[in-house]
Amino acid sequence: MKTVKKQCGFTLLELLVVIAIMGIMMAMAMGGFIDWGRGIGMDGAVRNVKSSMALTRQWAITHRKLTGIVCTNNYYVVSYTNESGVLELIGGTNFLPEGIEFKGDGGPHFFKVDGSIKGSPLVRSLIIREEKATNYLEEVIQIYPLTGRARVRK
C-alpha cells in the first residue's frame, strides 16, 4: 500500500501575495526616510553660529574691546574695533553649508566690553533658513541685549 506524504510549504501564489504586501508597506514607509537626514546640515549651521556668537561675546569681555559678528547671505565674519576705530577681522570668513542662508537682520551685532549688545534694548533675532523645493526649515537665534546671551528657538 502506498502512503501519500502531505507536503509542507507555501505555494507560489502565497509567496507572491506576501511579497506584494511587503512592497506596499515599504513604499508607504519610504516617505518618512526621504527627508531623514535633511535637518543635519541645518542643526550644524545653527550650532556653529550660536557658538561663534558666544565666542565673540567672550572675546569682547576678555580683550575689553567692542567686538561684532556680521551675518550676510551664506557667511558670517567676526571682527573687533581697534584703537583707531577700524574694524579688524578675527579669524576668517565662516561659510554656512550649501542651501542654508541668513534671513532678516544679519547685524552687525556688536558686543560691548561687559558682554551686552550695543544698540537697541530689544531682543534681536537672527533667522537661519534652509530651503528645499517647496518647503523650508527655519530656526531663530535670539540675542538678549542686556546679557548678550544667544538662545535657539525653532
Instruction: For residue range 55-101, list pLDDT tens digits in order.
Output: 999 999 999 999 988 888 888 888 888 888 777 888 778 888 888 88
What whole-number distance in Å separates Cα of residue 71 and Cα of residue 136? 20
Q: What pLDDT is recorded for position 5?
A: 72
**Cis omega (within 30 of 0) for bond into 108:** yes
Confidence of residue 15 (pLDDT cuts 50, 70, 90): very high
Instruction: Let me know if 46 is exposed, middle or buried by CB neighbors in 10 A (0-12, 13-18, 19+).
Output: buried
